[in-house]
Copies of this chain bind each other. A is one copy, B any other.
């Protein structure tokens, strides 16, 4: 993995040169994890534009004493400093070595107003320059290490749901909360470090609430049961929604299910290199709107996933930009009929030069449990 992280830092250097920065002070923990593999809760990192891969003499990592051993194991290839105020300590070092006029970027989209003052003080003569999104832009395009983690996270969720159904975990009489807990436990059984977000189990009329939190509501025969959940593996988040019917589906349930399924297929089909993110949303949305349910599809079509459960790109009318190979995104249209029930179908997929690679493999046929 060391080579992977070194490669990512090298990509940062190219962006520093584009932005005429001598270095960047990275303080966001996910960005630090992305660039070093470090998973602790306190760290900072300076990447210098002038370093070369394999000879990163000026790149410095800092964490506190609790993580001494962990840092040696996870960040063996970089100079390490131990200090509790990691970001301030590295800013001080930048200031101390700033013999000439230095431009050092900082993550202005993460650093607070108060902390920025303290960093500027510590950096002394060096110029702290806003440099938002330098690492995030790299994170948009997943490398194969990341895609493998996402693949394992999606597999854990797929297997958990298969186990749940196979062992009769989805049946009238159980509560939403019981089902949520079983699903989360089964993901752990399949290698997840935890759920990737709070599991949504929504039965009957609750399925019409897009972001319902599971309750003591008892599942009943005839219910639509909407399950939105994911697994966390190596820091990467999977995201999948399936909606099933307990017993035989009523006509109205089948109708909205098949509509959402058609919209989801259209949405996945639109996830093509160079497509505008708004157009991807439109591809699915128009299927639902044409059937007269446009007002019942209340949210965007999807979002990026990776080290965060929600990250760029946003696939919605509010989103901006184009699809590139290597992006990992969800496609999750839904139709919600208040007081009655709702259906959402969601996959996680990776954009490839030709067809997207589907990571969540559970069937999207209507399942009657």
Q: A-side interface residues toward B, CB under 8 Å?
A: 65-67, 69, 84, 108-116, 130, 132, 181, 185, 188, 209-211, 298-299, 318
> Is the Cβ of B112 less than 8 Å from the Cβ of A66?
no
Q: Whole-angstrom distance between the alpha carbons of A128 and B130 in the complex?
A: 21
Are A112 and B112 in touch, CB under 8 angstroms?
yes
With A108-B112, A108-B114, A113-B113 known as contacts, the answer to whether A209 contacts B130 (CB < 8 A) is: no
Known: A65-B298, A112-B113. 16 other contacts (CB 8 A): A66-B211, A66-B298, A66-B299, A67-B211, A69-B209, A84-B318, A108-B112, A108-B113, A109-B112, A109-B113, A109-B115, A111-B113, A113-B113, A114-B130, A181-B185, A185-B185
- Distance (Å) between the CB of A209 and the closest chain B CB? 7
| CB nearest neighbor in B for A197 | B41
Question: CB < 8 Å: which of B69, B113, B115, B211 contacts A130?
Answer: B113
- Distance from A58 Cβ to chain B, minimum over Cβ atoms (Å): 25
Expressed in whole angstroms, the Cα–Cα distance for A111 and B109 within the complex equals 9
28 pairs across A/B with beta carbons < 8 Å?
A65-B298, A66-B210, A66-B211, A66-B298, A66-B299, A67-B211, A69-B209, A84-B318, A108-B112, A108-B113, A108-B114, A109-B112, A109-B113, A109-B114, A109-B115, A110-B112, A111-B112, A111-B113, A112-B112, A112-B113, A113-B113, A113-B116, A113-B130, A114-B130, A114-B132, A181-B185, A181-B188, A185-B185
A99 CB, min distance to chain B CBs, angstroms: 27
Q: Which residues of B contact A114 (CB under 8 A)?
A: 108-109, 130, 132
Q: How far is the CB of A239 from chain B (nearest CB, A)?
A: 15
Cα–Cα, bound, A38→B116 (Å):
29
Q: How far is the CB of A85 from chain B (nearest CB, A)?
A: 10
Chain B residues with CB under 8 Å of A66's CB are 210-211, 298-299
